[in-house]
Amino acid sequence: MAEPDGQTLDGLVAEAALAHPERTAIAAGERSLDFAALEQQVDAAAGVLRGLLPEAGSTIAVASVLDPDFAVAYYASVRAGHVTAVINPLLREEGLLHVLALCEAQAALVDAALYARLRPLRGKLPHLRHVILIGTVEEGAVPGVQTLAGLVERTGRTSGGARRAGPDDVACVQFTSGTTGLPKGVRLTHRNLTANAAQIAETHLLDSTSVTLNHLPTYHPMHLNSAVRAGATQVLCAAPDPVDAVRTAGLAGATHFYSLPVRLARLAGAPADDDVRPASLRYFASGGSALPVSAARALTARFGVPVFQGYGLAETSPLTHCDDPREPVHGSVGRPVRGTGCRIVDTGTGEVLHGDAVGEVQVRGPQIMKGYLGRPDHTETDADGWFTTGDVGRVDASGRLFVVDRLRDVFKCDNFLVAPSEIEQVTARHPLVRESVVVGLPDAAHGAVAAAYVVLADGAGDPAAAAATITAYVAEHVPYYQHLHHVEVVDGIERSANGKIQRRTLRDALAARLRTAVAS
C-alpha cells in the first residue's frame, strides 16, 4: 500500500483505504470495490505499467465509459510515475488521433469500443507503444490485445512501488476545445487536483456517509477525485433514462445525484406516475452547462430535494464556483469555492468592474492549471495569478456568479464542448462543399446543437439532397454531439466590413428564421 501523503493524486486513494478500508468505493451493477481493494488494484496495475514504461514521465492515455477500471487506470498511471491523459471515450477517429498525438501517449488503456476506433490509427501514432484493454471485456476477446487484469495476473505484481512526485509536478492532462477548434491539452498538477478534490468535497457536502449516483455518459475525474477524497461511495449508472437512474439511486441509498442538465430537464418533465422518490436523496447536482431555472424548480417541487449547480473549466481542475446545496439560487452557479477568487473585468480594457456589472469572468486559486501542452508554465495567468475564462458574467451582492454568455464561439451539446471549426474542417473535405460556417443553435433538449451555413460547389445539384448528403457525411466522421441538425444552403456567407465572420450574428439570424418557419 502506498504511503498517504495528502499531496499526490494517487495519495487520495491511499488515504481513503487507510481511513475506510471496508467502505464501498465504487459500485457498478454487480461489481463493487471497497477502498482497500481499490488501493490494491491501483498498486498492482501501477506495477504493471512501471514494468512496461520503466522511465518516469511518460504519458498514459486512459479512456472508458462508466466502469471501475477507469478509476484503477487513472490512479495507477500516476502511481507508476507517469502522467495520465484523460481521453473522451466517445471520440471518433480524427479527434482521437489528434489528442493522442498531441500528448504523445506511449500507452493507452481503453475500453473495447474505443479500441475498435484506435486500431486503424496505430500506424499514425509512432509514440504509442502499448495498448491495453480495460472495462468489461474477456481476456482474449480481442486477439493480440492484452487486458489490464490479465497483465496483472500474469506478472504477479502486487506492488507498484510508487514513485514520489512533487505537488507541482504534472499529474494529469485533460483536453478542451478552444477558439481554434483543435483541443488543447491542459496540464494539471498534483496540487491542482488534490486541492480541487478537497474544495469540491467541502462545497458539495460530501463525507464518508455520502453515496453519489454518477449519471453521466463518461467518468469525469471531478466526481471521482472528490468522492475518494471524502471517502464517499460512488454508484455508476450507465442507463440513459433518468427515471431508471432515480430508481437506481433509491436502491443504492444515494444521497447525491449527479447528472447532465439535459437529463435533469428530461426527468423534470417525466410523467408524474413514473416518479420514484428515494428517501435517502438529499441533492440533485447539475454542471457543465446551464440548467433551465424552470427544470430546477420542477425537480425540487416533485422530489422535495434542492437542485444546485456549479461552474468551472478544464483549466481549473475543474470547479471554481458552486451554489449552496442547501439553499441554491436557481440560475446562479454560486460563490467561489474555498481559496478561490473571482472578479469581473471589462471585456475591452480589462478594468476591474464592481457592483452588478457584466463583463468577463476571471478566477484564481490553487486549482488553476500549470499551463497548456507545448507552452511555458503559467503563461495563461497574469502576474497576480488571474486566469481569464472567456465567459461573460456578473456577480450579485451576495457574491454569487451568474454566467451570461460565452465570448468565444464554442458551445455545449449534452455537456460536451463543441468547437464549430472542428466541424467545418470535416465539411470542407466533402466535394459538394465550397464553404461552410457552423454555429450553435439554442436547443431545449441538448443546450445547443450544430447547424451550418453551406455554400455548395458548382454542379452540386439539388440543394435539399446535397444538404442531406453533407449531414450524413459529417455524422460518419464526428461524435454524435457534433452532428449537424440543420444545413442552410446559401449563395454566400455574410461577413463584416473587415471581412470577418460573425458567428453570433449568423446564429441569431438562422435561429430567427427557423422559428418563423415553424410558426408559419
* pLDDT of amino acid 3: 56
Answer whether residue 183 is part of any domain.
yes
Please indicate, yes or no, whether residues 489 and 440 belong to a single structural domain of this protein: yes
Please indicate, yes or no, whether residues 273 and 394 belong to a single structural domain of this protein: yes
The count of domains in the chain is: 3
The residues of the chain scoring below 70 in pLDDT are 1-6, 157-162, 177-181, 273-275, 496-500, 520
* pLDDT of amino acid 178: 45
Please indicate, yes or no, whether residues 251 and 371 belong to a single structural domain of this protein: yes
Answer whether residue 228 is part of any domain.
no
Please indicate, yes or no, whether residues 395 and 453 belong to a single structural domain of this protein: no
* pLDDT of amino acid 497: 46
Please indicate, yes or no, whether residues 322 and 435 belong to a single structural domain of this protein: no
DSSP one-letter string for 50-80 = HHHS-STT-EEEEE-SS-HHHHHHHHHHHHT
Give the CA-trace dihedral at 141, 146, 148, 151, to 10 degrees.
Answer: 120
* pLDDT of amino acid 159: 56
Residue ending a domain, among 158, 189, 220, is: 189
Answer whether residue 227 is part of any domain.
no
Residue ending a domain, among 358, 386, 406, is: 406
* pLDDT of amino acid 158: 55
Answer whether residue 168 is part of any domain.
yes
CB atoms within 10 A of CB 165: 23
Answer whether residue 363 is part of any domain.
yes
Single-letter amino acid code for the residue at 512: A
Rounded to an integer, what distance in angstroms lies between the CA atom of residue 135 and that of residue 517?
47
Ramachandran angles phi, psi of 459, nearest 5°: 80, 15
* pLDDT of amino acid 392: 85
Answer whether residue 120 is part of any domain.
yes
Rounded to an integer, what distance in angstroms lies between the CA atom of residue 227 and that of residue 221?
10
* pLDDT of amino acid 150: 92
Q: What CATH code is carried by the domain that includes residue 84?
A: 3.40.50.12780
Of residues 214, 225, 135, the one with CA closest to residue 188: 225
Strands laid side by side in the 433-443 sheet: 433-443, 447-456, 484-489
Please indicate, yes or no, whether residues 445 and 345 belong to a single structural domain of this protein: no
Answer whether residue 426 is part of any domain.
yes
Please indicate, yes or no, whether residues 250 and 397 belong to a single structural domain of this protein: yes
Distances (CA, A) of 238 to 15, 155, 218, 259, 369: 28, 32, 9, 11, 30
Please indicate, yes or no, whether residues 389 and 473 belong to a single structural domain of this protein: no
Of residues 406, 392, 395, 391, the one with CA closest to residue 356: 395
Q: What CATH code is carried by the domain that includes residue 500?
A: 3.30.300.30
Helix (H) or strand (E) holding 184: strand 183-189
Put residue 399 in one of left, alpha, beta given phi > 0 → left and psi -120 to 50 → alpha.
Answer: left
Please indicate, yes or no, whether residues 258 and 364 belong to a single structural domain of this protein: yes
Rounded to an integer, what distance in angstroms lies between the CA atom of residue 40 and that of residue 158?
7
**Whole domain around residue 436: which residue ranges?**
411-519
Residue ending a domain, among 406, 438, 456, is: 406
* pLDDT of amino acid 179: 42
Residues 6+ apart with CB under 8 A from 311: 287, 319, 320, 321, 322, 333, 334, 401, 403
Please indicate, yes or no, whether residues 437 and 333 belong to a single structural domain of this protein: no
Please indicate, yes or no, whether residues 398 and 440 belong to a single structural domain of this protein: no
Please indicate, yes or no, whether residues 120 and 141 belong to a single structural domain of this protein: yes
Answer whether residue 85 is part of any domain.
yes
